[in-house]
Amino acid sequence: AQTVTQSQPEMSVQEAETVTLSCTYDTSESNYYLFWYKQPPSRQMILVIRQEAYKQQNATENRFSVNFQKAAKSFSLKISDSQLGDTAMYFCAFMKPIQGAQKLVFGQGTRLTINP
């Protein structure tokens, strides 16, 4: 079974700073997907960024980028120029593609606070 571990329960940075959230996972699969989801307070979870394991290039979405180290089974999220609206719980998630089903295995989450 796959497991996802986020070792930082909470993080706090000042607005405009760069912050990196850590995630490690364990799997014997070679083909899989990794995700970072954001869950703002009292709002629904939304996808931040996605990485396919077969792609060597790290995914980037505007201020969000990942550092994907397949051999180390590490998948960190970097948020540049952090904004107050980035305050949320962040979840790392693993998916083994089975006919496209989004059966996700989530980590415990990191609570990120951006301070003004």
Partner 1 sequence: DTGVSQDPRHKITKRGQNVTFRCDPISEHNRLYWYRQTLGQGPEFLTYFQNEAQLEKSRLLSDRFSAERPKGSFSTLEIQRTEQGDSAMYLCASSNYGAIDTEAFFGQGTRLTVV
Contacting positions for partner 1 (CB under 8 A): 4, 6, 33, 37, 42-47, 50, 52, 91, 93, 97, 99-109
Closest separation between CB of residue 22 and partner 1, Å?
A: 14
Our measurement of the distance from residue 62's CA atom to the centroid of its chain's CA atoms, rounded to an integer in Å, reads: 15
- SS3 labels along 48-116: EEEEECCCCCCCEECCEEEEEECCCCEEEEEECCCCHHHCEEEEEEEECCCCCCCCEEECCCEEEEEEC
Residue placing its CB nearer to partner 1 in the complex, 88 or 109: 109
Residue placing its CB nearer to partner 1 in the complex, 14 or 102: 102
Closest separation between CB of residue 11 and partner 1, Å?
A: 15
Closest separation between CB of residue 89 and partner 1, Å?
A: 9
